[in-house]
A = this chain, B = another copy of it.
Amino acid sequence: MADFADRCDCTVIHEDVVERVKEVMPEEENLYDLAELFKVFGDTTRIKLLWALDKEEMCVCDLAILLNMTQSAVSHQLRVLKQARLVKFRRDGKNVYYSLDDDHVKLMFEQGLLHINEKEPK
């Protein structure tokens, strides 16, 4: 039950609306996880990494070259992607090869680009 104490008056009228919406809101935990996931996508470097790894398996130093970044920076960001379960990796000698470990990433990116292009004309 919502708490309508000492707030806007208009909400008394809209009480039913708030209740209706409240019922369809997902679990707090799921919303938190969802935000955490999108946070991972909210960085150009990580977007690039995911895009690259969706195309082909690559080792860290190659990714560093591709993105023109420090090996350290790439490694740090790969850790974030690892924690989010978005990439997997295998060791082969001195190299560690990363690749995409998610089927939804591409679809989400595509939807994102759709939004961007639709609203394009600033």
Residues of A within 8 A of B (CB): 2-4, 7-8, 10-11, 14, 17-18, 20-22, 24-26, 30-44, 46-48, 51-52, 55-56, 58-59, 61-62, 64-66, 68, 71, 85-86, 94-95, 102, 104-105, 107-109, 111-116, 119
Contact = CB atoms under 8 A, between A and B. Distances in A.
B31 A48 contact: yes
Given A35-B47, A42-B39, A62 B10 contact: yes
Contacts of A11: 61-62, 65
A36 to B, nearest CB: 8
Given A62-B11, A111-B111, A115-B104, A44 B35 contact: yes
Contact of A21 (B25, B39, B55, B114): B55
A26 B51 CA distance: 9
